[in-house]
Homo-oligomer: A and B are copies of this chain.
Amino acid sequence: MELLLNKLKGRLSDAQVSTNQTVRELHSKDETYQQTSLPDIVVFPKSTEDVSHIMKVAQEFKTPVTPFGVGSSLEGHVIPYQNGITVDFSLMNKIIEIKESDMLVTVQPGVTREQLNKELKNYGLFFSVDPGANATLGGMAATNASGTTTVKYGVMRDQVRDMEVVLADGKVIHTGSSAAKSASGYHLNGLFVGSEGTLGCFTELTLQVYGIPEHIAAARATFPSFTQAIDAVTTIKQAGIPIARVEFVDEESIIQINKFSETDYPVQPTLFLEFHGNEAGLQADIDFTKEIMKDHECEDFVFETDTAARNHLWDARHNLAYAYIHDHVGKKMMLTDVAVPISELANAVTFARGELDKLGVPGGLLGHVGDGNFHALIMIDMENAEEVQKAKEFNKKVVLYALERGGTCTGEHGVGVGKKQYQQLEHGPALDVMRQIKKALDPNNILNPNKIVEIE
């Protein structure tokens, strides 16, 4: 350990290498119920060269390395179960370049999505991917994050043009180029995005950004039942309306929103919607959507006309997980995260609702239903072994239901440790291919070991 520290300090300053207990504890957990585990050392690189040095030292000592953004992961991705070195990217938080005319931005991995959007606003641009947390862009790439706008703009993987990645042996590669499309070589962008720190550390990202739409309209629609709300979304999708956001929030979650965000939204199954486009086209989309809503017995379709009310709506939605956490002090959050084909969505939500009712713990349903992705968010008492066990069984039932219908165990939160047990079932022999790739690129299994795939 002393030798390892000395080698690290061969390049890094004392301030960049910490074994302080508080610092280690801050890097021992994420935002969920997962078991914590301490890193031995936390390092704070300032450059690609720092990260390359760290990886070379780690390789020499065969020490596990866990990359860390802000710790907002939801399946234990950043928890270092084999201890070792945690690489905290908070000092690599510069926006390197905004190429307005190419709609591209190059950032360091520690830049957060809100930090980026604040800067982009000056250029009339925005970055589309918006998970609930103010996550780092490096972390969002590591988990292939998505959010409320994915239904129109796509997931994190769709935005990544190029990444600079430090490999297990300290070598530095680029995974793509600045071209809008390419058929050159294997698709390393796609492979590294979503690799959850198991294949390399991201040190620079070139991302696609968008012009702030000419017109934006946001609305809330309430329904007598959640199945009617979900059916309305399915119809909107099938009609090909290019909706920019369509979020489902159930009654329990509306209660949490009203408490935490000081709103007075009706306590009913609700859709939050947003439309982007030119004024005329948007109005036609809204008119068509209204008709569909009516067909599904929508009771109220309220537009948030001023910008402040619209922003408040989406802030409230983004803060929903924190609302639950805030209202249930001492409990821990668990989230299901399945995505199913859109034709299976109403049944899948009905199934989850039924199982949630049986469970008898605080929680609700919410999600990015336009992508067939929804969450059951539950708050559990980790001291109550029976409750924890039941919660895990609930999660499992929802996953198995989705997998049997051609879905996925995780639409956007990633595998980490929480969804590792379902990888074999979901991927079958393809999991061996993933394992072969992992072994080829990280033969000593030091990069976030045993996340996604277990290496014997």
By a CB distance below 8 angstroms, the chain B residues around A373 are 179-181
| A413:B183 contact, CB within 8 angstroms | yes
A405 to B177, CA, bound (A): 9
From B179, B191, B405, B439, A408 is in contact (CB under 8 Å) with: B179
Residue A379 is within 8 A (CB to CB) of chain B in the complex: no
Asked whether A284 and B278 contact (CB < 8 A) given A157-B187, A184-B408, A187-B144, the answer is: yes
What are the interface flags for A310-349 relative to B under an 8 Å C-beta threshold, 1 for contact and 0 otherwise?
0000000000000000000000000001011111000000
List A residues 28-72 near B (Cβ within 8 Å).
none
| A342:B186 contact, CB within 8 angstroms | no
By a CB distance below 8 angstroms, the chain B residues around A411 are 179, 181-183
| B278:A188 contact, CB within 8 angstroms | no
List A residues 274-290 near B (Cβ within 8 Å).
277-285, 288
**Which segment of A3-11, A350-358, A426-434 sits at the interface?**
A426-434
From B177, B277, B406, B431, A179 is in contact (CB under 8 Å) with: B406
The chain B residue sitting closest to A234, CB to CB, is B101
| B434:A440 contact, CB within 8 angstroms | no
List A residues 406-450 near B (Cβ within 8 Å).
406-415, 419, 422-423, 426-434, 436-441
| A437:B440 contact, CB within 8 angstroms | yes
- Give the copy number: 2
| B240:A213 contact, CB within 8 angstroms | yes
| B408:A177 contact, CB within 8 angstroms | yes
A343 to B441, CA, bound (A): 35
A145 to B188, CA, bound (A): 17
The chain B residue sitting closest to A150, CB to CB, is B181
Asked whether A412 and B183 contact (CB < 8 A) given A171-B429, A281-B277, A430-B188, the answer is: yes
List A residues 223-270 near B (Cβ within 8 Å).
234, 237-240, 242
Binding site for B on A (CB under 8 A): 99, 101-104, 143-146, 150, 155, 157-158, 167, 171-175, 177-191, 193-195, 199, 210-211, 213-214, 234, 237-240, 242, 277-285, 288, 337, 339-343, 371-373, 402, 405-415, 419, 422-423, 426-434, 436-441, 452-453
Mind listing 13 A-B residue pairs with CB under 8 Å?
A144-B187, A155-B181, A171-B429, A173-B429, A173-B433, A178-B340, A179-B407, A184-B427, A185-B431, A187-B193, A278-B284, A280-B283, A433-B441
Taking A143-B183, A183-B414 as known contacts, 7 extra A-B pairs with beta carbons closer than 8 A to each other, sorted by chain A number, are A102-B341, A144-B183, A173-B427, A174-B427, A179-B341, A184-B419, A185-B426
The 5 A-B pairs with the shortest beta carbon distances in the complex, nearest first, are: A281-B281, A190-B190, A178-B406, A440-B440, A182-B408
